[in-house]
Amino acid sequence: MTDIDGKALAAKLQGQLAEKTARLKAETGMVPGLVVILVGEDPASQVYVRNKERSALAAGFKSEVVRVPETITQEELLTLISKYNQDADWHGILVQLPLPAHINEEKILLAIDPAKDVDGFHPTNMGKLWSGHPVMIPSTPAGIMEMFKEYKIDLAGKNAVVIGRSNIVGKPMAQMLLDANATVTIAHSRTKDLPALARQADVLVVAIGRGHFVTKDFVKPGAVVIDVGMNRDENGKLIGDVAYEEVAEVASYITPVPGGVGPMTITMLMEQTYNACLLAGVADGQD
Ligand code: NAP
C-alpha cells in the first residue's frame, strides 16, 4: 500500500507556482490577484481564509481579505462583488462559504464574474466542466486529479465510484473522472447496498462527511481510495470518511487524513488564480 502524500505534492506545486509567478511578473508585469471576502466571524472560515491568504502571498500574488460584518445586507455584498468584478487588478474573487442565513448563497455565487470565479462554483463554469470544456474548476476534485497524475494512476477504463454528490466535490469529481475515461458511478445517501457497489470500484472517492464511515468491507483489494472527508472525532481530532487503518490493509493507494486531499485544495485554488490571470492577459491582448 502506498500513501498518497498530498502535503508533499502541494508543497512541490506551490514552489513551482511561485517560480511561474515570478517569471510572469518579470516578463509581463502581471501579478495574479486574489481577493477573499469573509462575512462574519465563523472560526473555521477564519482559519480557511487565513490559510488562503498565506498561500497566495507565498506564491507571490497580490492578496486581500475583505472582512465584513455578519450584518451586511445582500445588496451591500453584491455591490462589493461588483466592485471587484470591475477591477482588473483582481483575477480571482472568492466568497467564503457558508454565508449567514439572510443572504442567498446562489445569488452571491451568480454575481461573481465567471472569469474570476476561481472556486469554479458559478453555473457557467459548472456547465463548461460538464460539457467537456473546463475553464474554472472546483479545487478539491482538481487536486485529486493532480494526485492521480503525480502517482501515475491510470484512470482509463477503470471503474470509479464517487460517494457523495455535492456541487463542490462529488459531482465535479465524477465529471473529471469521466473526462479521464473512467466508468463512473455516483453514490449517495439513497444508494442501495453501498458496500457492494463500492467494492466494484478500482478507484473509490469518498466525500460524505461521516467519520470512518467507509470500512474494509467497502473496498476491493488493490483499489485506490481517496478520502475527502474532514470530520472531528469525539476528542476533536481530524479524521476522514475512511477508516484508514483497516482500509490501508487492502488498498493499493490511499490518501491519509490529515495530509492527503486537504493540502491540495488551497494549492489548486492558487493555480486557478494564476490561470485566471493568464486568461485575463490573453483577453486584454484581444481588445
Ligand atoms: P455535503 O454537501 O454534505 O454532501 C455530502 C454527500 O454525501 C451528499 O451527497 C450525501 O448524500 C452523501 N452522504 C451523506 N451520508 C451518506 C451515507 N450514509 N451514505 C452515502 N452517502 C451519504 O458534503 P461535501 O461538501 O461534499 O463534503 C463532504 C466531506 O468532504 C466533508 O467531510 C467535508 O468537510 C469534506 N471536504 C473536504 C475538502 C478538502 O479540502 N479536504 C473540501 C470540501 C469538503 P445526499 O445527497 O443523498 O444527501
The string of pLDDT tens digits covering residues 201-239 is: 999 999 999 999 999 999 999 999 999 999 999 999 999
Q: Where are the alpha helices (DSSP H) in 72-120?
A: 74-86, 105-111
Q: Quick check: CB of 188 below 6 Å from ligand 1?
A: yes
Using alpha carbons, select from 91, 117, 114 the residue that is nearest to residue 33.
91
* pLDDT value for 281: 87
Is 12 considered catalytic here? Answer: no
Specify the residue with its C-alpha closest to ligand 1, atom 2. Answer: 166
* Sheet containing 33-39: order of strands: 62-68, 33-39, 92-95
Do the Cβ atoms of 5 and 259 come closer than 8 Å? yes
Q: Spot the catalytic one: 5, 117, 119, 202.
A: 119
Q: Spot the catalytic one: 5, 96, 158, 202.
A: 96
Report the distance separating Cα 263 and Cα 213, nearest Å. 22
Q: Quick check: CB of 111 below 6 Å from ligand 1?
A: no
Q: Quick check: CB of 134 below 6 Å from ligand 1?
A: no
Using alpha carbons, select from 200, 234, 233, 237 the residue that is nearest to residue 218.
200
List the beta bridge partners of residue 185.
161
The identity of residue 38, as a single letter, is L
Domains of the chain, start order: 29-113 (3.40.50.10860), 139-262 (3.40.50.720)
Q: Which residues of the chain have pLDDT under 50?
A: none
Is 96 considered catalytic here? Answer: yes
Percent of the chain at pLDDT exceeding 90:
97
Is 113 considered catalytic here? Answer: no
* pLDDT value for 285: 67
Question: Is the pTM higher than 0.95?
Answer: yes
Using alpha carbons, select from 239, 123, 132 the residue that is nearest to residue 175.
132
Q: Quick check: CB of 140 below 6 Å from ligand 1?
A: yes
Which atom of ligand 1 is nearest to 231's Cα? Answer: 32
* pLDDT value for 84: 98
φ, ψ for residue 6, nearest 5 deg: -65, -30
